[in-house]
């Protein structure tokens, strides 16, 4: 494998990790963990298969197990990060405010729904690819996609939160996690 | 208009429209039904807008310079993969294969330092084996009149005889595709048991020897279920050797590494 091929994957991985975690440093940590695990687990990757899909699969597994271990810490952390950003903005333009708002809404989705939605909409993966990356059946992927889209629409339609307002803790409370 | 074409669309059908994951023929049929379903139209519009927003999210990260810890992690991964690719190109490796890299092959030897459990730390018997292989090559390859004990003219007998002595059914690889033909073979002593040496020669007179034999006493060979590969140029003759299921194999020839690796691949696949 050409080193430049691997390097070319990093910006995409960083961006996806940013949207997944909502936190710049957590995102880069996740990418680093992914690259390091890819180094030690190379035997599991057969030559000729899709490098990008495999890296996303490694990242997905790492993130899912991270989430299982520190769900509360993660959710408590992210609103602070987003609020810090909004405090620093003197006169946020519409795009930035919208982006912060979108990220905030994304973080209120359960992790499995957020993952599927990002892989489909941000990463343009086919449903079959998403099923492989997440290790779930296709039906589960479609069901999560439905819930993610419906839920995100509800969040986007909710009354806008003014910059500088802290997110009420009830919104950031652990959501009901279905085992599915 | 039949009831089929006015059926409300399911969620799955809406998704494929939004994500364009449907063949164009099916797409027209879906769009026709969509035109009759205002609820679905609203949802498709909403979801398309969501996708648009998500495609734009954090786009600036794509243009950022990659932080150096990530560059370093990528560099190590790429190096490990590159070495792995060479091995995987050999193809047809046994399950449970364990790869070992000799010093001087890997450009970056820190990989070995980070993986102390690799086979290279566990093959002391093999370095003696490959040394013997080299000596045998050095002694017999230059021989003009008696390079081998039994010639290729008696190949069946040769294989039967050496198989019996080594305690395992042997197979002589056919390297005619690579331009090498069998000269013959001989029986040799080894500290862990009898060894066999097969000699091949190409049109230019270059000689190649395949040296093999049990690495452990027969009673212990069950334990050695792993395969490991190593390339070394410590001595005068480059050798490519591997261990599989308690047997050592060494291929020696005065060739460049890549040429020798190709031959080793051909041999490995046939044995």
Among A20-34, B47-61, B244-258, whose mean pLDDT is lowest? B244-258
Chain B residues whose CB is inside 8 A of the A12 CB are: 62
Q: Which residues of A touch B71 (CB under 8 A)?
A: 7
Residue of A nearest to B118 (CA): A40
- CA distances in angstroms from A136 to A92, A130, A131, A140, A143, listed in the order given: 40, 8, 5, 6, 11
* Subunit contact A121:B15, Cβ cutoff 8 A: no
Which residues on A lie below 8 Å from B50 (Cβ)?
121, 149, 152-153, 156
Structure-model confidence comparison of residues A90 and B156, the more confident one: B156
Range ranked top by mean pLDDT from A26-30, B218-222, B246-250: A26-30
Extract the tokens encoding B107: 């450009």
A121 contacts B54? CB cut-off 8 A: yes
Nearest to A32 among B12, B46, B70 (CB): B70
- Judge whether A36 is closer than 8 Å to chain B, CB to CB: yes
Per-residue pLDDT reduced to its tens digit, A129-147 = 999 899 899 999 999 999 9
Rounded CA-CA distance B12/A120 in Å is 13
Residues of B in contact with A3 (CB under 8 A): 74-75, 78-79, 82
Note the pLDDT of residue A2.
Answer: 64
Beta carbon pairs, A and B, within 8 Å: 112
Mean pLDDT score, B185-201: 94
What is the chain B residue with the closest CA to A140?
B12
* Class of residue B38 by CB neighbours under 10 A (exposed 0-12, middle 13-18, buried 19+): exposed
User: What pLDDT score was predicted for residue B23?
Assistant: 86
Q: Provide the CB-side half-sphere exposure for A52 (13 A, CA).
A: 15
B17-A137-A107 Cα angle (round to 5): 70
Count H helices and E strands in chain A, helices first: 9, 0
Give A31's contacts in chain B (Cβ within 8 Å). 70
The pLDDT value recorded for residue A12 is: 96
Q: Which is higher by pLDDT, B245 or A41?
A: B245
What is the predicted pLDDT for the residue at A49?
60
Distance from C-alpha of A100 to C-alpha of B213, rounded to nearest angstrom: 68
Write down the pLDDT at residue B247: 83
In DSSP notation, chain B reads --GGGGPPPPHHHHHHHHTT-S-HHHHHHHHHHHTT-HHHHHHHHHHHHHHHHHHHTTGGGGGSPPPHHHHHHHHHHHHHHHHHHHHHTT--PPTT------TTTSS-THHHHH-TTSGGGG-HHHHHHHHHHHHHHHHHTT-SS-S-SEEGGGHHHHHHHHHHHHTS-------GGGTEEEEEEEEE--TTS-EEEEEEEETT--EEEEEEEESS-GGGGGG---EEEEEE-SSSS-EEEEEETTEEEEEE-SS-HHHHHHHHHHHHHH-
Q: What is the dihedral of CA B255, B265, B80, A49, to 10 degrees?
A: 140
> What's the average model confidence in pLDDT over B247-270?
84
Show residues of chain A in contact with B64, CB under 8 Å. Answer: 11, 14
Contact B81 A1 (CB under 8 A): yes
Q: A156 to chain B, minimum CA–CA distance in Å?
A: 9
- Mean pLDDT, residues B73-79: 82
CB-based contact A121 B19, cutoff 8 Å: yes
Q: What percent of chain B has pLDDT over 90?
A: 49
Q: Of B94-103, B163-172, B180-189, which gets the smallest average pLDDT?
A: B94-103
DSSP A164: T
Cross-strand bridge partners of residue B196: B187, B212
- Chain B interface with A: residues with Cβ < 8 Å: 11-12, 15, 19, 21, 46-47, 50-51, 53-59, 61-64, 66-67, 69-71, 73-82, 84-85, 88-89, 115
| Residue of A6, A1, A3, A2 whose CA lies nearest to A31 | A6
Interface contact A46, partner B, CB < 8 A: yes
Kindly identify which residue of chain B lies nearest to residue A28, measuring between CA atoms.
Answer: B70
Nearest CB to B80; choose among A10, A42, A46 = A42
CA dihedral A65, A68, A73, A76 (to 10 degrees): 110
**Phi/psi of residue B179, nearest 5 degrees:** 90, 10
Q: Measuring CA to CA, how many Å separate A58 from each of A134, B72, B84, B242?
A: 9, 18, 18, 31
Q: Identify the closest residue of chain B to A157 by CA–CA distance.
A: B46
**Pick from B51, B59, B70: which is nearest to A10 by CB?**
B70
The DSSP 8-state label assigned to residue A118 in this structure reads I
CA atoms within 13 A on the CB side of A16: 28
pLDDT (0 to 100) of residue B3: 57
B chain contacts of residue A2, beta-carbon cutoff 8 Å? 78
| Distance (Å, whole) CA A102 – CA B231 | 55
CB under 8 Å to A99, separation ≥6 — which residues? B56, B57, B58
Give the closest-approach CA distance of B178 to chain A in angstroms.
25
Angstrom distance (rounded) from CA B240 to CA B160? 25
Residue B92, pLDDT above cutoff 50: no
| Among the listed residues A116, A105, A107, A104, the one whose alpha carbon sits nearest the alpha carbon of residue A147 | A116
pLDDT at A148: 97
Encode pLDDT of A49-73 as tens digits.
678 888 998 899 999 988 888 766 6
Give the confidence band of B253 by pLDDT, cuts at 50, 70, 90. Answer: very high
Q: Side by side, which strands form the sheet with B180-188?
A: B150-151, B180-188, B195-202, B207-214, B247-252, B239-244, B227-232
Integer Cα distance of B227 and B248 in angstroms: 9
Query: Does A31 lie at the interface with B, CB-CB under 8 angstroms?
Result: yes
Is residue B126 classed exposed, middle or buried when 0-12, 13-18 and 19+ CB atoms within 10 A define those classes? buried
The answer to whether the CB atoms of B67 and A99 lie below 8 A apart is no
Asked if A122's CB is within 8 angstroms of B54's CB, the reply is yes
Name, in order, each residue with C-beta under 8 angstroms of B146's C-beta and a sequence gap of 6 or more: none
Say yes or no: A99 contacts chain B, CB-CB below 8 A. Answer: yes
With the CA atoms of A3, A16, B12 and B32 taken in that order, what torsion angle do they form, in degrees rounded to the nearest 10? -90
Chain B contact set for A32 (CB, 8 A)? 69-70, 73
């Amino acid at each position: 494998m050409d080193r430049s091929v691997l390097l070319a994957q990093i910006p995409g991985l960083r961006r996806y990790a940013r949207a997944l975690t909502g936190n710049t440093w957590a995102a880069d940590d996740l990418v680093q963990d992914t690259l390091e695990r890819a180094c030690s687990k190379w035997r599991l990757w057969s030559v000729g298969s899709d490098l990008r899909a495999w890296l996303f699969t490694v990242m997905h597994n790492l993130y899912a197990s991270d989430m299982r271990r520190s769900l509360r810490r993660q959710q408590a952390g992210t609103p602070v990060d987003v609020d810090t950003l909004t405090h620093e903005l003197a006169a946020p333009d519409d795009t930035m405010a919208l982006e912060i708002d979108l990220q905030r809404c994304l973080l209120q989705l359960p992790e499995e729904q957020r993952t599927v939605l990002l892989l489909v909409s941000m990463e343009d993966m086919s449903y079959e690819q998403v099923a492989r990356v997440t290790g779930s059946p296709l039906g589960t992927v479609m069901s999560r996609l439905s819930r993610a889209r419906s839920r995100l629409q509800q969040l986007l339609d909710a009354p806008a939160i003014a910059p500088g307002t802290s997110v009420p803790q009830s919104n950031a409370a652990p959501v009901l996690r279905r085992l599915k | 208009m039949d009831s089929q074409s006015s059926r409300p669309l399911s969620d799955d059908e809406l998704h494929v429209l939004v994500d364009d994951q449907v063949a164009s023929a099916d797409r027209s049929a879906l769009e026709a039904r969509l035109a009759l379903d205002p609820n679905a139209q609203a949802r498709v519009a909403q979801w398309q807008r969501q996708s648009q927003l998500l495609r734009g999210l954090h786009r600036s990260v794509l243009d950022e310079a990659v932080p150096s810890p990530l560059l370093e992690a990528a560099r190590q991964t790429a190096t490990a993969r590159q070495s792995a690719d060479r091995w995987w190109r050999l193809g047809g490796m046994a399950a449970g294969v364990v790869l070992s890299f000799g010093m001087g092959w890997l450009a970056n030897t820190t990989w070995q330092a980070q993986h102390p459990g690799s086979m290279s730390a566990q093959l002391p018997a093999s370095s003696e084996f490959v040394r013997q292989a080299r000596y045998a090559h050095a002694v017999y390859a230059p021989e003009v009149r008696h390079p081998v004990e039994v010639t290729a003219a008696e190949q069946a007998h040769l294989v039967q005889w050496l198989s019996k002595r080594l305690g395992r059914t042997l197979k002589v690889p056919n390297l005619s595709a690579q331009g090498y033909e069998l000269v013959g073979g001989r029986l040799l002593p080894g500290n862990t048991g009898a060894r066999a040496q097969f000699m091949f020669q190409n049109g230019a007179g270059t000689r190649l020897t395949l040296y093999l034999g049990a690495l452990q006493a027969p009673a212990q060979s069950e334990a050695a279920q792993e395969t490991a590969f190593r390339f070394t140029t410590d001595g005068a003759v480059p050798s490519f050797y591997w261990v599989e299921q308690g047997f050592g194999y060494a291929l020696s020839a005065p060739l460049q590494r890549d040429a020798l690796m190709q031959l080793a691949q051909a041999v490995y696949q046939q044995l």
